[in-house]
Amino acid sequence: MGIRDKTCRSEGCLVPAKWCEAHHHTLSWLHGGRTDTKDGKLLCSWHHHRAHDDTYDMTLMANGDVRFRKRT
């Protein structure tokens, strides 16, 4: 994933891949999701916490990046 993603896949985030964490985008492996790299996205720690925070929406963009928005 580091070779593919190069940086955090959150829109506009430039944290290098070596400082990022793997995130299963569609469904966590704990809940029966795939464990292959096609489903994975690299996210920096800050954005990875947003991905698991119910107060944020995460939208997949056409280029494969993700956009986070605080729910209102």
Structure confidence by residue, pLDDT tens digits, 8-65: 999 999 999 999 999 886 656 566 666 667 778 999 999 999 999 999 999 999 998 9
> What pLDDT, on a 0 to 100 scale, did the predictor assign at position 62?
95
> What pLDDT, on a 0 to 100 scale, did the predictor assign at position 51?
93
> What pLDDT, on a 0 to 100 scale, did the predictor assign at position 26?
66
> What pLDDT, on a 0 to 100 scale, did the predictor assign at position 28?
60
Q: What secondary structure does DSSP assign to 10-69, as a single string? A: BTT---BGGGEEEEESSS-GGGT---STTTEEEEEHHHHHHHT-TTEEEEE-TTS-EEEE
